[in-house]
A = this chain, B = another copy of it.
Amino acid sequence: MNLRDLNIIFIGAGNLAANLAKALHSKGYHISQVYSRTELSAKTLATMISADYTTVPEDIINSADLYIVSLKDSAFEELLPKITVGKQQALIVHTAGSIPMDIFRNIMPRYGVLYPMQTFSKQREVCFDSIPFFVEANNTTDLELLKELAQTLSNKVYEASSEQRRYLHLSAVFACNFTNHMYALCEVLLKKHNLPFEVMLPLIDETARKVHELSPKQAQTGPAIRYDENVINKHLDLLADNQEMQQLYELISKSIHELQ
């Protein structure tokens, strides 16, 4: 079967679903329906990719070839019994780093995972070319199909077991969400002292670029790695009015020092 002949349905219309659906649509894939319990999300995404939409799980079309489930973990478990009814011929995949493939076992005969490891926001379109996709399936035919499909979007497609994927997802939380939170705390500090966040961008960029060449351990600089107690104590004093940031500063500095 030609990949572009697949009749695809998206279950979920969140950040990841929206970005992935738009990327597939732009590559000529046919997505016939979008389900979301939030009508606005379903409608907005459906309109962008010329699909129908529904907010009723029972109205999800039964005859599609590929169901891509992209839901919050809690919603996933709740909806799973409803969305699989009558779809036994189809391939069903989810897009989550943290959910094992076996969640579909005993429910569907053909299943898999299509996990694009990236941070998706609706306000920003992401270029998929270099996003790593991690794929898994319960049979080799579908594994090949998922690989091929992912390769039409990205040049970085890997097989990964559910076990590997959960560590990838945990690592991604550190590399992305926690990193972004360091930026956010930095913004809090700067705002409080009437300094613009944008002065930090060259430093943020260089910090990211650097680990393309050096390992993060080699790339480290600053007071914690030098164990410059003088500076560390001055910084803790400056954070005296924010106990939480002070505690974070102390714990992360200790962790930097210990990793060496």
Contacts and interface: CB of A to CB of B under 8 A. Distances in A.
B177 A221 contact: yes
Contacts of A197: 211, 215-216
A143 interface: no
Contact of A238 (B170, B222, B224, B225): B170
Contact of A199 (B126, B168, B182, B226): B168
A126 B226 CA distance: 21
Given A73-B228, A187-B217, A256-B181, A210 B173 contact: no
Nearest to A254: B244
Interface string A131-167: 1100000000000000000000000101000011011
B210 A119 contact: yes
Contacts of A2: none
A220 to B, nearest CB: 5
Given A186-B175, A203-B118, A212-B201, A219 B73 contact: no
B208 A208 contact: yes
A159 to B, nearest CB: 12
Contacts of A172: 186, 200, 203, 222
A107 interface: no
A231 B73 contact: yes
Contact of A202 (B156, B206, B224, B231): B156
B126 A206 contact: yes
Contacts of A15: 221
A103 to B, nearest CB: 12
A104 to B, nearest CB: 17
A102 B166 CA distance: 52
27 contacts: A73-B228, A73-B230, A118-B203, A118-B206, A119-B210, A119-B222, A124-B214, A126-B206, A170-B189, A171-B195, A172-B222, A174-B182, A175-B200, A176-B206, A177-B221, A179-B182, A180-B211, A181-B256, A186-B216, A187-B215, A187-B216, A197-B216, A205-B208, A207-B208, A208-B208, A248-B251, A248-B252
